[in-house]
Structure 1
Amino acid sequence: MIKQELLEILACPQCKGMVELNIEGNSIVCRACRLVYEIRDNIPIMLIDEAKPLRGQDDKEDRHG
């Protein structure tokens, strides 16, 4: 799992905004860009070309708090 200290200094490579760990802890999410960055072997893959659109459970939480 990603340490909180690392998460605090990471930024979305597209908008330079704040990112957060998703519920399962297996990816990093930028809610502003609605992009998901995968974590592989405890290394966040912060590449725009490899990011996936935010969907699923995270969308439900956005709508329902």
Structure 2
Amino acid sequence: MTETTIDFDRRMLEALICPRSHTTLTYDADRQELVSASANLAYPIRNGIPVMLVDEARALV
């Protein structure tokens, strides 16, 4: 099954914060993720919608 990439509206970054650390996020366009450096987590963006669930986040190495 292939996943199509839908553009993420970068204006959402102004309103979104990391649910674990309550800090701002950065957008990784290549991986389609929102990254919380302070929590060492990356939240996926699926079909243009950020999935802001800690259980769905990928741990950064």
TM-score by length of 2: 0.80
Where in structure 1 do 4 or more consecutive aligned residues deviate above 2 Å?
none
Unaligned runs of 5+ in 2: 1-6
2: CA distance, partners of 1:37 / 1:14: 11
Q: Which has the higher helix share?
A: 1
Task: Name the aligned partner's letter for residue 26 of structure 1.
Answer: Q
2: CA distance, partners of 1:42 / 1:3: 8
- CA shift for structure 1 position 4: 2.2
Map 1:36-55 onto structure 2 (within 5 A): 36-55=42-61
Task: Name the aligned partner's letter for residue 38 of structure 2.
Answer: A
Q: For residues 16-38 of structure 1, what are the alpha-carbon distances to aligned partners after superposition, in whole Å with 9 as ceiling and x for unaligned? A: 10001014150100000010100
State percent identity of aligned pairs: 33
Q: Work out which structure has the larger RCO, using CA pairs closer than 8 Å and 6 or more positions apart in sequence.
A: 2
Unaligned runs of 5+ in 1: 56-65
The corresponding residue for 1:3 is 9
**What's the Cα RMSD here?**
1.3
Could you say if the C-alpha distance between residues 19 and 28 of structure 1 is closer, same or farther in structure 2, counting changes exceeding 3 Å? same
